[in-house]
Structure formats: C-alpha cells, structure tokens
Structure 1
C-alpha cells in the first residue's frame, strides 16, 4: 500500500496541488484521473520522489518516504517500476538491453540470470524472441510493452504508469490495460496509473482518485461513477462521452 497525506505543491505563485490525501492498494490498479493541467503527473512525481512536495507525507507500506534518509529512499526506489508516457526507451539499445537496464544498474546478478529474467518478462508481455530488435523497429504498442517488461524486470513491488495509452489505438489500449491489470493481480503490486482515458477507467478502474484544479474531489470505483454526485466529475465524464453510453445501458 502507498498512502499520501496532505500533499501540497506550488511552482512560484502557481499552486498545483492543495492538500491531497489518499491511499493506493495492493493487487489492484489505482487510477489518478482528471483533465490536463489538474496536477496528475505532478502528484505522481511527488509520490515517486522525482520532485519534493512543499508539504505532506508519502508512505510506502509502513515507511515514511518524503523525509527519509537517503539509504531508505534508495531501498524503496529499488522496488519501484516506472512506465513512462512515451515509453522512454534508449534508442541506441536493443529491446533486451532496454529491459535489462534496471538489472545492470541495481543488481550484481550474473549476465546469464539477467538474460533469463529478461526473456521471462518479454514472454510475459507477449514479446518473446524480440530481444535483438531496436526501438525504431517497434510499433507504439510494442514500445509500451517493452516499457512494462522493463518496469517489472526487477520484481517491483510498486508500479507507476504515466498515461500508458497515450497515442495508442483503442485495440492496443485495451491490450495494455489488460496487461497492467494481469501483472498487478499476478504479482500483487501496488499499481498507480495516471490517465485521462475513460475507457481505461471503465476497464480497470478498481480504485479511482479524481483531481480537479489541484484538489481531490472524488474517489471510488468504476461501479460508482454514475452516482458520484460531484458536478466537476460528472462534467469530466460527460466530456469523454462515456456517461451517455453507461446510462443507455
């Protein structure tokens, strides 16, 4: 579990996050949703430690992360897997080298064991035998799957996905959503997904936190969306043309 308490963040005179509190659970996808510019990615970066909050605390299980000693932060970061919005693959490295990168940096595992682990993860994301391909030879969906393989190669306890379906066609988006769901349940990870894709919300939104102008206005599951009672949330859903289909059904 990851818990955040009273997270505030400003850049200059601009307030981005104001008093965000919430919990993210093991074994299920936890979604942070909202329109562009609402602070989703900033909140994710505060949780991961890429930027420090101005106020508040982040807890990984029972460990306070925000003010922790460097060694404690390093140990927690070893257990984090990250899927970046654009895939963030190294263009000069092969698929195998990209997936192996966290093992090269964070472990002293023998090369043969690293390769075995890479092969296992590539097979898990449906890319067995693609080891020697370069990123330029991959489709957008394949790049995202390589990114997922890299995120789980170090047996991560915590998985973060920043707009995993950005730029993908609907069919590939469903494949990525299903893969994130399966891996989360199989490895009992604490998974946090930042998205504005309502199809993803309806597909894997077991626990949802809605941000609006830097405030948390609603949280719940995909089954509770139609009864939120929050105007800003309903407006967001209507804008994505999903609520109409839900109500027709």
Structure 2
C-alpha cells in the first residue's frame, strides 16, 4: 500500500497541489483522474520521487520515502515499475534491449537470465517473436505493451502508469486496461494509473481519486462515481462520456 499525506507543491506563485491526502491499495488498479492541468501528473511525479513536494509525506508500505536516507530511496526505487505516457521506448534499441534495460541498470543477472526474464515478460503481455524489432516497426498498442513488459521486468511491488491509453483506439485501450488489471492482480502489486479516460474508469476503477484544482475532492470506486453528489465530478464524468462517445463513432 502507498499512503500520501498532505502533499503540497507549487511552481513559483502557482499552487499545483494543495494538501492532497489518500491511499493506494495493493492488488487493485488505483486511478487518479481529473481534467488536464489539474495536478494529476505532478502528483504522480511526487509519489515516485521525480518531484519533491514542498510539504507532505509519501509512505511505501510504512516507509517514509522523503524522510528516508539514500539507501532507503534506492531500495524503494528498485521496487518501482513505470509506464510512461507514449511508452517512452528508446528508438535506437530493439524491443529486447528496451525491456532488458532495467535489468542492465539495476541487477547483476547473467546474460542468459536476462534473456529468459525478457522473454517471459514479453510473453506475459502477449508479444512473442518481436525481440529484434525496432520501436518504429511496431504499432502504438504494441509499444505500450513493450512499455508494460519493461515496467514489470524487475518484479516491482509498485507499478505507475501515466496516461497508458493516450493515442490508442478504443479496442486497444481496453486491451491495455485489461492487461494492467490482470498483471496487478496476478502479482499483487500496488498500481497507480493517471488517466482521464472514462472507459478506463468504468472498466478497471476499483479505487479512484478525483483531483480538482490541485485538491483531492473525492475518493471511491466505479460503482459510486456516477452518484457522488459532487458537481465538479459530475461535470467531469459527463464531459468525458460525451467525448468518448464521439471518439468511438
């Protein structure tokens, strides 16, 4: 489980996150939703340590990340897998080399062990016999799956996904959502997904945090979201349902 306490972050005079508190549960997809520019991605970067909050704490299974020493931070970072928006694959590396990269950096595994682990992860995301292909030779959906394989290759306890369905068609988006949910449950990980896609929310939203103007305005699940009684959330849900219906036509 990940717990965040009173996370506050400003850039210059602009307050981006305002005293955000919440928990992300193990074994289920935890979604952070909200309109563009409301602070979702900044919150994610604070949680993983890419941005240091001005105030607040992040606990990884009871470990205070920002208060910890260098060894604790390294320990936690070794337990994190990250799926970046767009996949963020290295264009100059093959699929195999991309997935292997965390093993090269973070482990002392032998070459044959790395290949075995890479092949296992590629098979787990439904990709086989693509090891030697370059990112330019595969589709957008395949790139996302390669990104997921890279994110889980080091057996993480925590998986973070930033807009995993960005730029994908509805059918491929469902495939990626299902894959994230299956991997989360199979490996009992704490998974945090930043998204504004209501199809994802209604598909895998077992735990949802709604960020509005830098504040945690609501927490719940997909069954409760349509009758929260919060006008800002109702407006967000309705607007995204309209956009999704137009996109799906």
Q: Same fold (TM over 0.5)?
A: yes
Measured in 1, the distance between the counterparts of 2:82 and 2:43 equals 14
What corresponds to 1:7 in structure 2? Answer: 7
What corresponds to 2:213 in structure 1? Answer: 213
Measured in 2, the distance between the counterparts of 1:45 and 1:240 equals 24
What corresponds to 1:223 in structure 2? Answer: 223
What corresponds to 2:162 in structure 1? Answer: 162
> 1:239: how far off?
0.5
Question: How many aligned positions are there?
Answer: 244
Q: Residues 8-157 of structure 1: matches in 2 within 5 Å?
A: 8-157=8-157
Gaps of 5+ in 1: none
Q: Does the residue aligned with 2:37 lie in a helix, a strand or coil? A: coil
> 1:139: how far off?
0.5
Taking structure 1 as the reference length, the TM-score comes to 0.97
The CA RMSD over aligned residues, in Å, is 1.1
What corresponds to 1:197 in structure 2? Answer: 197
Measured in 1, the distance between the counterparts of 2:194 and 2:238 equals 19
Measured in 2, the distance between the counterparts of 1:75 and 1:102 equals 14
Q: Does the residue aligned with 2:223 lie in a helix, a strand or coil? A: helix
> 1:241: how far off?
2.3
> 1:16: how far off?
0.1
Measured in 1, the distance between the counterparts of 2:10 and 2:139 equals 37
Q: Does the residue aligned with 2:237 lie in a helix, a strand or coil? A: helix
